[in-house]
Amino acid sequence: MIGAHRSRPLPMRRGLLFLLAALFVVTLPFVGTAGSVAAAELQPLEIASKGGVHVFAVEMASTPAEQAKGLMFRRELPEGQGMLFDFHHEQPTSFWMKNTYIPLDMIFIRGDGRILRIAENTVPLSEALVPSGGPV
51 domain residue, yes or no: yes
Mean pLDDT of 36-46: 80
66 domain residue, yes or no: yes
Q: What is the DSSP string of the chain?
A: --EEEESSPPPP-TT--EEEEEEEE-SPPPS--TT---GGG-EEEEEEETTEEEEEEEEEE-SHHHHHHTTTT-S---TTEEEEEE-SS----EE--TT--S-EEEEEE-TTS-EEEEE-SPPTT--S-EE-SS--
What is the pLDDT, as a whole number, of residue 73? 97
42 domain residue, yes or no: no
31 domain residue, yes or no: yes
Please determine, for residue 12, whether its predicted confidence score (pLDDT) is greater than 50.
Answer: no
Domain limits for position 69: 3-35+47-131
Mean pLDDT of 86-96: 94
What is the pLDDT, as a whole number, of residue 129? 98
Q: What is the CATH number of the domain that holds 82?
A: 2.60.120.1140
40 domain residue, yes or no: no
The two most distant CA atoms of the chain are separated, in Å, by 41
pTM: 0.72
Number of domains observed in the structure of the chain: 1
41 domain residue, yes or no: no
94 domain residue, yes or no: yes
136 domain residue, yes or no: no
6 touches 60 (CB < 8 A): no
